[in-house]
Chains A and B, each alone.
Chain A
């Protein structure tokens, strides 16, 4: 479920003691403020006092050369260079530097051709013909051909690969090579937007025959030089990159520093040039100091509460709606995320194609909430909300919700559970009736398939509505955009009115850059401009 639960920031090492890596996604974030956040706060407090913009301007001509040093939280020995099992932000940074996607996601979620130039579906969107870009070579000089794409897709289709959700609709063994740069992909069911399945980094293309990824070969802007899991990777510029004249930097070092304070200090002292996932409190503190650039990317990233719609009291839709009306969304964004996000409207995908902008924005309405609860016979409702430090903002938002709920007569008892159980299907995940979740979304289709349909692997709200499923299939298979938008509107209206998700925010990506780094445009699709290291140059 890459398009869903990846890109979680890491916890501090001490929190990591209690974390289990979910899907090797040890989101090592968390108690930055508590234990080890003092150093950055101190550094922040002692910073300078001038103002500066938070947007990264790319004025001036890109300059060649230099070493670009980027840091994310480390995942220790579980770090990898294989797109198939990459899962943490630091993995993503490496994969997106070594390899290329078939289709490129632009900062505004529009797409551009990557390794694939043309995508032609048949009349009912069950077979797609893909024409590939010519003249592309791998880092070892070999030509990029259809064989590489076919092999990659077949590897992605294995049960152990994280790309499986994106290619599970493909009949991988029946993919046909039409010619050196063309392949035909048969599907198990209609999909009107096959290209979107190949945007996310688990689906990026590697060489035919690659097995152990120890000395990985891709077509991407940077080439493998060395890699010490848990510490750093060193890549060098690909001089034959097809998106010439990029990349600009001669060398890319991706360094793992787990402690948020230490990572920020490294940025402040010039030992690194960019850091992904700057905690929002530190970002706020540094926005006006001018010592670093705070990069914010508006994204649909939902951080939300969810309710199990099959169990009391949430099996009553009036109770669910009441809960949605209790939330003071702007206050929650300010309190839990220091303002780094825009208001969510309970349906996921703000800013993405097919998002229904016509649904009225929910606001806090305590009176209406109280009357709905009364109607449901649930005045003075008491519920337990399970939360965890695994994602920054979870515990804070849960605490705020408990406070806000009092006004409506609802008592929310918070239970903080260890991060290692929260997303572990063998322990707590999918067994909690009121909890929180976060997804990294680049397309609505994947969220609905993975969370809200009959076969969804991550059906947090235990949603099972057959008519909903058939609507979803129609929406996904409909080639006519207007008809598809109509289906999607129906789907979203149902979720808005009856769903179990309370999506209160579309959270920003928040990163830190040295003032020397130019060229990175904030993107909704991922941190640091969606890992746009090929665009970056050092002033």
Chain B
């Protein structure tokens, strides 16, 4: 084949993985833009504003309007949205509306949220580190013992966890491990600037709460996938060939059961990002959820928008990574169409 034809062939046969990545990233950008619009519109329709919050009882409609005007918080929505987006493109998260209303000339949002963001990420990561292996292990265990007591215990246990609201789980855990046994602290107060991992004891109950609240879906997906795969001929063949059971399970069977489970695990991770608000509040953990909720109460729209968008971006990125992993796991998806 001539050199030209050779190059042409390479160009035509772009790796499907790269093509996939390219398409998905474009899609992700689009999703982020749509999310930003929805978030922005959401804060626009919120009744009340930072100015009336700060002025309080003294906030006659005229005074509120005057303060809003002074703070440039009454720009037309389109301008405000454009300013916000262009600021973000430069890494500028904007000024806190409450800070400005209190009379500060600059009230950058990033220092207000970077600490809580870090704390929430650490909590989410630690939880994920346990959740993924636990989901896999328990799912396999349940599948292998399908119909037998071990399966029932696992299924029932995880179902109970997911059925109970997090604050109930959190309270029960506090009741057992603090009030009852006095083994663990009931609140996870982390001083500002400190690393949550410095005192890992504080993280145990919040992580346990998050795990109990979320394990069921992953476990059940893995279990279902495994049961299906374990019934196939090729697993039978592997067994008949004398391969050790552990190898059969984890090297051969699980790989094929994983694809749908990845999606569920990804959903769990997404839930961790946005859904830890309640757990954070029950354990007084200074994370992003608490910051977001007080910002909503204070009508600090800049902070609300920034945090909401960060969460949305995390969601979208996790989706992207999950799809990529599935594609890598399932060779069929990698074949050119």
A interface residue numbers (CB < 8 A to B): 1, 5, 11-14, 16-17, 19-26, 28, 35-36, 38-39, 42-43, 46-47, 74-78, 80, 85, 87, 159-160, 162, 164, 212, 228-232, 255, 257-259, 261-263, 265-266, 268-269, 271, 420-421, 423-427, 429, 457-458
B interface residue numbers (CB < 8 A to A): 47-48, 52-61, 63-64, 96, 98-99, 102-104, 112, 115, 167-168, 170-172, 174-175, 178-180, 185-187, 189, 191-193, 277-278, 281-284, 286, 289-291, 293-300, 303
Question: Would you call B299 and A20 a contact (CB within 8 A)?
Answer: yes
Chain B residues within 8 Å of A38, by CB: 167-168, 171
Q: Which of A42, A257, A458 contacts B171 (CB 8 A)?
A: A42
Chain A residues within 8 Å of B303, by CB: 77
CA A261 – CA B115 in complex, angstroms?
A: 24
Q: Which of A12, A159, A232, A457 contacts B281 (CB 8 A)?
A: A12
Can you list 8 pairs linking A and B with CB atoms under 8 Å apart?
A: A13-B293, A20-B299, A24-B54, A36-B278, A85-B102, A265-B178, A269-B178, A423-B56
Question: Would you call B48 and A427 a contact (CB within 8 A)?
Answer: yes
Question: Would you call B187 and A257 a contact (CB within 8 A)?
Answer: yes
Chain B residues within 8 Å of A22, by CB: 53, 56-57
> In whole Å, how far is A271's beta carbon from the nearest beta carbon of chain B?
6
Chain B residues within 8 Å of A36, by CB: 167, 278, 281-282
Question: Would you call B57 and A16 a contact (CB within 8 A)?
Answer: no
Chain A residues within 8 Å of B61, by CB: 425-426
Question: Would you call B172 and A42 a contact (CB within 8 A)?
Answer: yes
Q: Which of A13, A231, A263, A426 contacts B192 (CB 8 A)?
A: A231
Q: Which of A28, A76, A268, A458 contacts B57 (CB 8 A)?
A: A458
Question: Would you call A425 and B54 a contact (CB within 8 A)?
Answer: no
> In whole Å, how far is A2's beta carbon from the nearest beta carbon of chain B?
10
Chain A residues within 8 Å of B102, by CB: 78, 80, 85
> In whole Å, how far is A180's beta carbon from the nearest beta carbon of chain B?
30
Known A-B contacts A13-B294, A21-B299, A257-B284; A271 and B185 likewise in contact (beta carbons under 8 Å): yes
A-B complex: 10 closest residue pairs judged by Cβ atoms: A23-B56, A76-B294, A16-B297, A228-B192, A39-B171, A265-B186, A262-B284, A13-B293, A46-B179, A21-B53
Chain B residues within 8 Å of A458, by CB: 57
Question: Would you call A259 and B192 a contact (CB within 8 A)?
Answer: no
Question: Would you call B98 and A232 a contact (CB within 8 A)?
Answer: no
Chain B residues within 8 Å of A78, by CB: 53-54, 98, 102, 294, 298, 300
The interface residues of chain A, by DSSP majority, are classed as loop
CA A160 – CA B281 in complex, angstroms?
A: 32
Closest to B293 in A: A13
Chain B residues within 8 Å of A19, by CB: 297
Chain A residues within 8 Å of B281, by CB: 12-14, 36, 258-259, 262
Question: Would you call A259 and B282 a contact (CB within 8 A)?
Answer: yes
Question: Would you call B174 and A265 a contact (CB within 8 A)?
Answer: yes
Question: Would you call B48 and A20 a contact (CB within 8 A)?
Answer: yes
Chain A residues within 8 Å of B167, by CB: 35-36, 38-39
Closest to B66 in A: A159
Chain B residues within 8 Å of A271, by CB: 185, 187, 189
Closest to B113 in A: A77
Closest to A1 in B: B57
Closest to A76 in B: B294
Question: Would you call A43 and B192 a contact (CB within 8 A)?
Answer: no
> In whole Å, how far is A455's beta carbon from the nearest beta carbon of chain B?
13
CA A261 – CA B280 in complex, angstroms?
A: 12
> In whole Å, how far is A475's beta carbon from the nearest beta carbon of chain B?
24
Chain B residues within 8 Å of A424, by CB: 48, 52, 59
Chain A residues within 8 Å of B55, by CB: 23, 160
Q: Which of A160, A212, A269, A420 contacts B187 (CB 8 A)?
A: A269
